[in-house]
Amino acid sequence: MSLRSVSPRLATALLCGTFLTSAPVLAQEPVVLDEVVITAQSPIGSGVGYVASQTATGFKAGIPLTELPQSVSVVTEKELQDRKPQQVQDALAYVPGVTSGIWGVDDRFDQFLIRGFDLGTYGIYRDGLSSKAQNFTGFKIERYMVQRIDVLRGPSSVVYGSNDAAGMINVISKRPTFEKFAEGQLTYGSHDTASIGVDMGGALDSAKTLAWRVTALKRDGANATHGSENDRDLVALGLTWEPTDRTSVTFLGHYQKDRLTPNAFEPVAGEDYPARFGDLPYGFARSQHDFNRFATEQYSFGWQARHDLTDQITLRQNYRHARQKTDYRHLYFNGMHDPDWNPTEDSMNYAAFAVDEVARHDAIDNQLEYRSTFAKGENTLLIGFDHTRQVVEGTAAYDASYQIDIRDPSFDFDVPYPPVYSNSRKKVVEKGLYIQDHLKLQNGLSVTAGLRRSWLENESRNNLDGSVARQKDSATTGLIGLTYDLGSGFIPYASYTQSFTANIGQTASGGQFSPTKGRQFEAGLRYAPTDRNLMLSAAVFEITKTNLLTSDPENPNYSIQTGEVRHRGLELEARGNLTEQVSIIAGYTYLDPKITRSNNGDQGNVTPLAPRHQASIWADYDFTGAAEGLSLGGGLRYVGKTWGDAGNTRRVDDYLLADLSVRYEWDAYQASLNVTNLFDKDFFATCDASVGCIRGAGREATLTLSRKF
């Protein structure tokens, strides 16, 4: 008996059994791929080239991107193939409103700003489920296992719960397809970094009810830091069961083992120490102690299930369990020995820091979608309940007794494992009940609304003294937005959205911190002509965050909630094809970031790290005629001046970087050369008022040879 002949009643029973599984946590959205439609009734949409047509990141049931009343940019499969970014954060380099690699050369995490706010590693989701960092566990995602990346700018708490007002990214994993394919690749690049990768899959049976996919990568290499490591072993597996057009379950899992390198701040002559000592020797500034390492081992498994109960009602459940073990050791610059620059105290202080921890993350999201006709329009109502559970336990050690002479710096000394000062177990649980509705009327007007109630619990156990601290928070957030199709491709929109972020800890008096709250007003205009693969968009916005933690002037070791920031800005973006041969991505961001309230004298200052101006353009040309098969791409990225601290005492210069891509395809082969920072510009990604600056990535070149089988 073919699996496709399974009765609807039996299929419903099987899937409902899955829905009743007692899994400890959150999940979420139907994913969005390019040029691959997983199921006939999936909210995952198709796309062509650099333009995506649909997204489920802003509305979990999936809607056309033009009907979402918030800014969403999509790094498509085609863009990933053309540019071949090495990391997820590199893939975001041409997205307006996003500043990638803000913390310089740092292999530990993918880090970025959205609309001037530093999300660090707390704004990352994978397949609609939280993939946020826990302490020093970042659950770093290998770019080779990524199909597409959605960037939602602005508050997303109605959809995802506790999250920064700036937005989030949703990384979509590669998954099985029912068409057979296989590809192998070899790469060699800067710092003798070499890798071999395999990506293959297809149907397992003639009825095409089962499909599989395997993505594997082996990498050995380094980065620009002398003595660094950039090694990875990856295996990602996928299995899709689709017994009928009404039922689909995709199982996803992966194993990843890394040996990476921490970042390195360095003091700057004339800024952090007297100019008469001169710059640090090149060899020392670009080296590290043998003590340094960032070794991790992680795995995850889960599923994404969908079943159509009727033509109007769909059930979905997404779930993932992830675990990572982290062995992190870092000897880092900790400031000058004497802040007054006493000539007799001309040494740099270095601190040895070590973390040995295990983190677990469970997430589950249950959804019920109801499609109907309302006011002669198409209405989609989504009701859901999600649950996340994050646990991290381990030790931390610290020793700041190391001094290095600024006149003759050297790492030629032993660093034993530092004394342990912390042994703890921290648990954060969030539950959320939400409702979303999208109504598309016949006159071109679309209304999107949402409401969510979230509950958070935090527990921290000190294993050294046996003490336990607990905290509970709750928040209600909403969203309302409109889009209006004027015809001829012009679609204006406007929205109001809210966010909240839980704050862990207590005041000096023992009181709990309230969540940081955010709100955004946004208005924009999209131009998406139906006869061209092109989308132009413009947006203006104002984001305000309140209840920010700032230092308590009466108790410097504690914080109080008196901070407020306001970011206003303009974003412009163009994506798509100018001609059949020319594809383009272009963006510009103007930002007015301001600290509007502070008890530390910073009121009126510019928010640190946030550039006022940022612009980028990438163009790709496919040759025809005698040169058919050859493609040439290139881009420019400009990031304006920033401040390294809230006091606006440390300015960071602007920089302009160039990138290049050359590809040639013949038969089943492709050879490509991809270069970032083509002219090897030396620049600082950011600086700090007390611990110097961190360099951005220099020129990185990668040669790739791939073959399809």
Q: Which helix (H) or strand (E) holds 387?
A: strand 377-405
| CA 698/CA 104 separation, integer angstroms | 10
User: Minimum mean pLDDT among 24-28, 302-306, 482-486, 598-602: which range?
Assistant: 24-28
pLDDT of amino acid 12: 38
Check whether 72 has a pLDDT greater than 80.
yes
- Look up the CATH number of domain 3-708: 2.40.170.20
Closest residue by Cα to residue 567 from 114, 168, 152 = 114
Is residue 81 predicted with pLDDT exceeding 60? yes
**Mean of the pLDDT values across residues 86-113?**
93
Give percent of the chain above pLDDT 70. 92
* DSSP 8-state symbol, 287: B
Nearest to 439 by CA among 167, 37, 69, 159: 69
CB-based contacts of 57, cutoff 8 Å, min separation 6: 29, 32, 72, 128, 150, 152, 159, 170
Q: Is the pLDDT of residue 45 over 60?
A: no
Across 623-630, average pLDDT = 94
Q: Which residue has the higher pLDDT, 6 or 139?
A: 139
pLDDT at 255: 98
Residue 282, C-beta contacts closer than 8 angstroms, at least 6 positions apart: none
pLDDT at 28 over 90: no
Higher pLDDT pick, 704 / 12:
704
Q: Which of the four pLDDT bands, split at 50, 70 and 90, describes residue 355?
A: very high
Any residues with CB less than 8 A from the CB of 373 and at least 6 apart, and which?
A: 379
Does 24 score more than 60 pLDDT?
no
Q: What is the pLDDT of residue 619?
A: 97
Check residues 586 and 102 and name the one with the higher pLDDT: 586
Give the pLDDT confidence of 290-311 residue by residue, as tens digits.
999 999 999 999 999 999 999 9
Tokens matching residue 419: 């004394």
Q: Tell me, what's the pLDDT at 559?
A: 81
pLDDT-based confidence at residue 336 (cuts at 50, 70, 90): confident
CA of residue 180 relative to chain centroid, distance: 30
Per-residue pLDDT at 133 exceeds 70: yes
Contact present, 172 and 148 (Cβ < 8 Å): yes
Dihedral of the CA atoms 114, 119, 120, 123 (nearest 10)? -100
Degrees to nearest 5, angle at CA 462 with 457 and 468: 45
Arithmetic mean of pLDDT over the chain: 90
147 close to 176: Cβ distance less than 8 angstroms = no
78 pLDDT exceeds 80?
Answer: yes
Q: Looking at 23-32, 123-132, 495-504, 668-677, which range is the least confident one?
A: 23-32
Residues 432, 26: Cα–Cα separation, whole Å: 9
pLDDT number for residue 35 = 41
Average pLDDT (690-705) is 94
- Above 70 in pLDDT, residue 11? no
Give the pLDDT of residue 342.
52
Q: Are strands 516-527 and 490-501 parallel, antiparallel or unpaired?
A: antiparallel
Strand order in the sheet with 146-153: 71-75, 146-153, 167-173, 124-126, 129-130
Separation of alpha carbons 539 and 587, rounded Å: 11
Specify the pLDDT at position 508.
73
Structure tokens given for 466: 């046996």
74 has a pLDDT exceeding 60? yes
Q: Which two tokens stand for residue 301?
A: 């498994």
In whole angstroms, give the CA distance from residue 287 to residue 283: 6
Bridge partners (DSSP) listed for residue 347: 405
Question: How confident is residue 38, by pLDDT bands cut at 50, 70 and 90?
Answer: very low
Q: Which of 103-112, 411-420, 614-623 has the lowest mean pLDDT?
A: 103-112
274 — pLDDT class (breaks 50, 70, 90): confident
657 within 8 A of 636, measured Cβ to Cβ: yes
Q: What mean pLDDT comes out for the span 310-317?
A: 97
Q: By three-state DSSP, how is residue 611 classified?
A: coil
Count CB neighbours of 636 within 10 A.
16
Per-residue model confidence (pLDDT) at position 105 = 85
Q: How far apart are CA 172 and CA 367, in angstroms?
A: 19
Write down the pTM of the prediction: 0.91
Token pair, residue 173, equals 């994993």
Q: What is the rounded distance in angstroms from the CA atom of residue 10 to the CA atom of residue 1?
A: 14
Mean predicted confidence (pLDDT) in 540-557: 84
Angle at the Cα of 246 (from 245 to 247), degrees rounded to 5? 100
For the stretch 501-525, what's the b/e string if a residue is b when 16 or more beta carbons lie within 10 angstroms of its beta carbon?
bbbeeeeeeeeebebbbbbbebbbe
Cα separations in angstroms, 613 against 99, 246, 380, 544, 578: 11, 48, 39, 19, 25
Q: Which residue is it, tokens 């009907």?
A: 67
Cα–Cα distance measured from residue 47 to residue 44, given in angstroms and rounded to the nearest whole number: 10
Task: Write the pLDDT tens digit of every residue in 499-546.
Answer: 998 887 677 776 778 889 999 999 999 999 988 899 999 999 999 999
Q: Which residue has the tokens 């959320």?
A: 432
Q: Residue 232 and residue 259: Cα distance in Å, rounded?
A: 7
Residue that has been written with the tokens 């997820």 in this structure: 88
Mean pLDDT of 88-115: 93
Of 101-110, 429-438, 562-571, the least confident? 101-110
